[in-house]
Structure 1
Amino acid sequence: MGAGGIAISGGTAGWAHLIDPNRKWYNNARLITLNAWVVLFLITSSTNGYDGSMMNSLQSLTQWESAFHHPSGGMLGLLNAIQNIGSLAAYPFSPYLADGLGRRPAVFFGASIMCAATALQTASQSVNMFIGARFLIGFGLTFAATAAPMLVSEISYPPYRAPLTSMYNSLWYSGAIVAAWTTFGTFKIPTSWAWRVPSALQGLPSVIQVALVLFAPESPRWLVSKGREAQALETLAYYHADGNDQDPLVQYEFEEIKAAIDFDRTVAANVGWKSFLTKSGNRKRMRIIIAIAFFSQWSGNGLVSYYLNAVFTTIGITDPTIQLLINGILQIWNLSFAITASFLVDKLGRRYLFLTSCCGMLLFFTLQTVCSALYAHTQSKSAAHAVIAFIFLFYASYDIAFTPLIVSYTVEILPYAIRAKGFTIFNFSISLSLIFNQYVNPIALKKLQWKYYLVYVAWLAFELVYCYIFVVETKNRTLEETAALFDGEEALDHIAHNAVAHLGGGEVRDEASEKGSGSYANPQELVSKA
């Protein structure tokens, strides 16, 4: 039984029997090229990850502290939160740019702003200049981060769609690793270049994107939505079938995309902001999307992501060298778990990973709290070391689901017509949660010390219950089919039968049925009202 009154059966993706088993990402030149373009969009997340780790590390640099007059409390919160405030300012515009001009121009526009902003941040001579630059970084990041994961999901070769989209947020840690180790390498520089060098490197992914992004393929879904169907078919054929536009897989994808977009426009009228309130399927989507956005930042991870030095101080670790070293190792640890989980999303399933993640986080954060309390009362070094161990185990649990899945799951459960708007709501929710965290955490941690952890222990228990009730399984389905799961039998039936009607009708349905495709032989088997 799925969440919210939806019962969902298993099944193989409708395209599974159309895949050439000999065509792999490593032995086909066009798939290699396509995946290279995908990587170009994935590194958008690296910029965001770099920022969090850089700001964490800068707080351990005496050169940065001196340059900006030892910020603390509200000023320190503002320095961290201002990027997300900049992101908030861009949200009213980002979905319209991604839907209006296309996914590629939106990434290009955002990356261009971030190039200029990182240059300004690197040249900062005052705290106000630094704050203004970080506002612009957040503003530009919103445009790129809205369009990039959608484009990854919409151009990927079907068997690789879920793992590649899940890698988007996982590569947050690639940026975090570079930032952590760059700062570790520069902190002994006696001048302001100790922090200016890490600041300058933050713009590297954006520079690469500005140079290359307009040469990448545009989303076939966007092209179909703009009436450019011939170009959409050509793009699908070029990358998914070596240029053969009559390939069964390409035709299947093409017709399903057209059917899904047509359904949302004409039958469901599911196209505007108002539909998020008026359509029951969208309300089900929103209660999941908004929740996982807040969960991704309010699970206790915000303490380590932005205020690791403060956490270390509470357990007696004050040496900047040790703080930076642990931070660098932690980011490598996180990346390894997040990438591994990305490749398991279709094997183990989204729901399984979410529930496993919640259980692990609750367990290890509780143990971290206990050891922090023990250190506060006894000053035991063993307790301090145990806190560090449980931070690593907590993050391993977090990375099982809340790193790889929050973006890919959000993108795939939203139909094309409202994908950009729904993803904007998701990003807006994350920004709100981050702003709250970045203002409240340093103040609460300073006043309550380890007792503040108890708030997160209770919240993690709530997260586990919420995910158990509401998270819907979506593994092994096409992008269009996954989105339609929330809209009931009519949506699945319309998309399925309109797609196969253009491919020869019953003959295609019979073949799918014989191959075990639970998707299109009988759409009613996929979704039934509880």
Structure 2
Amino acid sequence: MGGQHADTGVTTTHDYHQFIDPNKKWWKNRRLVTLNLWILLLLVTSTANGYDGSMMNGLQLLQQWESAFNYPSGSKLGLLGAIQNIGSLGSYPIAPYLCDGLGRKWTIFIGAFIVVAGSIVQAAAQNVNMFIGSVLVSWSASVSVSFLHSWCTHARQSQRAPVSSVYNALWPGGAFFASWVTFGSFHLQNSWAWRLPSALQGLASLFQVFLILLGPESPRWLMSKGRNEEALATLAYYHAEGDDQHPLVQFEYDEIKAALEAEQIQKQTGWLQLVRTPGNRRRLRILIAMAFFSQWSGNGLVSYYLNQVFDTIGITDPVEQLLINAFLNLWSLILAILGGMYCDRFGRRPIFLVSTAGMLVFFTLQTVCTSQYALHGNKAAGNAVVAMIFLYSAFYAIAWSPLITSYCLEILPFNLRAKGYTLFSFAVSASLVFNQYINPLAMKAIGWKYYIVYCAWIAFELVYVYFFLVETKNRTLEETSVLFDGDDNVAKLQQHALNRANDGDAPPSPSNEKSSVQEVEMLEKV
């Protein structure tokens, strides 16, 4: 078997190339334009998450917010920073069941509706407890979005993996929007300085509330519910101008059908399957490591407690702080999108290695410069810290912003994808809760010396990435599976390919037999 598995974003160009006319431009096809607009609607979920996740960073730079909530610090500030992810933790165990039961669209709708409601309550908050409660109701629709947007992309060369990567890269886009909103509202000399950013965090989700149910549903989910005709019609409408007999549509349809049949035969969809085999345990170790590395690399200091970082280097002017925050988010957004767009050219593993090595170098230099300012009052060293933050953020953005979602989906087989990605998202939120709560306490207790902990941790990350991350560039889901599950998996896939050709006990047709032989030959080359 080969090719795209609709909810993964994993594809190789040789599978689809024979079915696609490279001379046809997508912007000249009304249905493909419509499809890309639906993709844009899905991608704003990451922007909404980025806005919500970084808004607290901007609010802490506002005197109006600090005075309204009695200048929170220490554990209270940690709780305010972590409360969003505490709320998200409650949604992750439920999300895969909603995805599988109600479908991708309805799960996104529910998540977007709750975000809108929470932003209204937050903007109207009269005290710190009401503010905390509004953030606590956060709901994660990202699990469903990650599955839905990847199949929506057309099977055109080099589109699916970059789109899957750019999805997560748009998190800095939300942070960028939040930083400029707080910079603008800073000039309001009343509570609307923080109420306005709180209200606007629901803007992106509001578009999804009104539009998402009008969009297409995942063909894979439709077929899993026995709604094959709807799935075929959806693929045909968007991928082949309504021709359900188009070779590309038939190819995609057959691939989805084969994956669902294999899942039904194996019946390996329980949570315990994540740890039942050596290959799955290896996947799980990578998933958990990726989740914690993405949040425990020192990036949480800049993303959530930039004001305390500024305090350690003597930058106290609120306007200067807000401007640095705004341009830093713009810088990260640009680099994250570039990292996502070029992931197929350079490969995942090289980008992760370069990214992590660069992070280690510049976070170490940031630590050295911060110590020089703290110990000797060297103003030049304090200014150098800002430069090191920008350089560190650039290396973080090219890999750890765009690639973690697409990479994790690429290493998970379909029958484990919803639960595996949910566990990954749960680990991200858990690491954030710990990080956001501990960071302000540690910064207050030991100041710049806390940076040394992250220097040692990033060095560990670099070693882990070098030894344990596998390359998934230009590999199908099955080829990646062989890397984790070994030769036994090759034999199973060969037998499954032959069974498909033979169609049970029936004699194989010439076309199916030829296809089966091609599949087996491909697997033997792995």
TM-score, normalised with respect to structure 2:
0.92
Q: CA deviation at 1:52?
A: 2.6
Alignment partner of 1:14: what SS?
Answer: helix
- Mapped to 2, the partners of 1:491 and 1:234 lie a distance apart of 31
- Mapped to 1, the partners of 2:339 and 2:74 lie a distance apart of 36
Residue 27 of structure 2 corresponds to residue 30 of structure 1 = no
Q: CA deviation at 1:20?
A: 2.0
Q: CA deviation at 1:277?
A: 1.4
Whether the 8 Å contact between 2:74 and 2:441 is mirrored in structure 1 is yes
- Mapped to 1, the partners of 2:334 and 2:34 lie a distance apart of 24
Partner of 1:261: 260
Partner of 1:475: 473
Name the amino acid aligned to 2:512: G
- Mapped to 1, the partners of 2:432 and 2:78 lie a distance apart of 10
Greater CA drift, 426-435 or 86-95: 86-95
Partner of 2:179: 180
Greater CA drift, 39-48 or 471-480: 471-480
Name the amino acid aligned to 1:221: R
Partner of 2:512: 505
Partner of 2:382: 384
Total equivalences in the alignment:
505
Greater CA drift, 96-105 or 150-159: 150-159
Q: CA deviation at 1:226?
A: 1.4
- Mapped to 2, the partners of 1:446 and 1:438 lie a distance apart of 13
**Cα distance change of structure 1 residues 169 and 499 upon mapping to structure 2, 3 Å threshold:** farther
- Mapped to 2, the partners of 1:236 and 1:405 lie a distance apart of 26
**Cα distance change of structure 1 residues 83 and 497 upon mapping to structure 2, 3 Å threshold:** farther
Q: CA deviation at 1:265?
A: 2.2
Greater CA drift, 92-101 or 147-156: 147-156
Partner of 2:446: 448
Q: CA deviation at 1:499?
A: 6.8
Alignment partner of 1:21: what SS?
Answer: coil
Greater CA drift, 433-442 or 279-288: 279-288
- Mapped to 2, the partners of 1:463 and 1:265 lie a distance apart of 37
Residue 83 of structure 2 corresponds to residue 82 of structure 1 = yes
- Mapped to 2, the partners of 1:478 and 1:26 lie a distance apart of 27
Name the amino acid aligned to 2:54: S
Residue 215 of structure 2 corresponds to residue 216 of structure 1 = yes
Whether the 8 Å contact between 1:339 and 1:404 is mirrored in structure 2 is yes
Partner of 2:347: 349
- Mapped to 2, the partners of 1:397 and 1:520 lie a distance apart of 41
- Mapped to 2, the partners of 1:491 and 1:323 lie a distance apart of 58
Alignment of 1:315-354 (within 5 A): 315-354=313-352
Greater CA drift, 57-66 or 281-290: 281-290
Name the amino acid aligned to 1:224: M
Q: CA deviation at 1:222?
A: 0.9
Alignment partner of 2:295: what SS?
Answer: coil
- Mapped to 2, the partners of 1:315 and 1:309 lie a distance apart of 10
- Mapped to 2, the partners of 1:14 and 1:490 lie a distance apart of 21
Greater CA drift, 19-28 or 283-292: 19-28
Partner of 1:524: 524
Whether the 8 Å contact between 1:103 and 1:147 is mirrored in structure 2 is yes
Q: CA deviation at 1:17?
A: 3.1
CA RMSD, aligned part only?
2.0
Partner of 2:419: 421
Structure 2 unmatched runs, 5+: 1-10, 504-508
Structure 1 unmatched runs, 5+: 1-9, 514-518
- Mapped to 1, the partners of 2:292 and 2:502 lie a distance apart of 42
The Cα offsets for residues 439-472 of structure 1, whole Å up to 9 and x where unpaired, read as 1111111221111111111111111111111111
Q: Paired residue for 1:148, among 145, 148, 165?
A: 145
Q: Paired residue for 1:300, among 295, 298, 303?
A: 298
Name the amino acid aligned to 1:126: N
Whether the 8 Å contact between 1:13 and 1:476 is mirrored in structure 2 is no
TM-score, normalised with respect to structure 1:
0.91
- Mapped to 2, the partners of 1:24 and 1:425 lie a distance apart of 39
Name the amino acid aligned to 1:53: S
Whether the 8 Å contact between 1:256 and 1:480 is mirrored in structure 2 is no
Partner of 1:4: none
The Cα offsets for residues 280-318 of structure 1, whole Å up to 9 and x where unpaired, read as 332121111111000000011001000001001100001
- Mapped to 1, the partners of 2:492 and 2:438 lie a distance apart of 43
Q: CA deviation at 1:420?
A: 1.4
- Mapped to 1, the partners of 2:249 and 2:59 lie a distance apart of 49
Whether the 8 Å contact between 1:19 and 1:249 is mirrored in structure 2 is yes
Question: How much identity, in percent, do the aligned residues show?
Answer: 56
The Cα offsets for residues 338-370 of structure 1, whole Å up to 9 and x where unpaired, read as 111111111111111111111111111111111
Whether the 8 Å contact between 1:157 and 1:240 is mirrored in structure 2 is yes
Residue 53 of structure 2 corresponds to residue 52 of structure 1 = yes
- Mapped to 1, the partners of 2:144 and 2:429 lie a distance apart of 17
- Mapped to 2, the partners of 1:172 and 1:322 lie a distance apart of 23
The Cα offsets for residues 359-417 of structure 1, whole Å up to 9 and x where unpaired, read as 11111111111111111122122111111111111111111111111111112222222
- Mapped to 1, the partners of 2:482 and 2:124 lie a distance apart of 49
Whether the 8 Å contact between 2:275 and 2:284 is mirrored in structure 1 is no
Partner of 2:169: 170
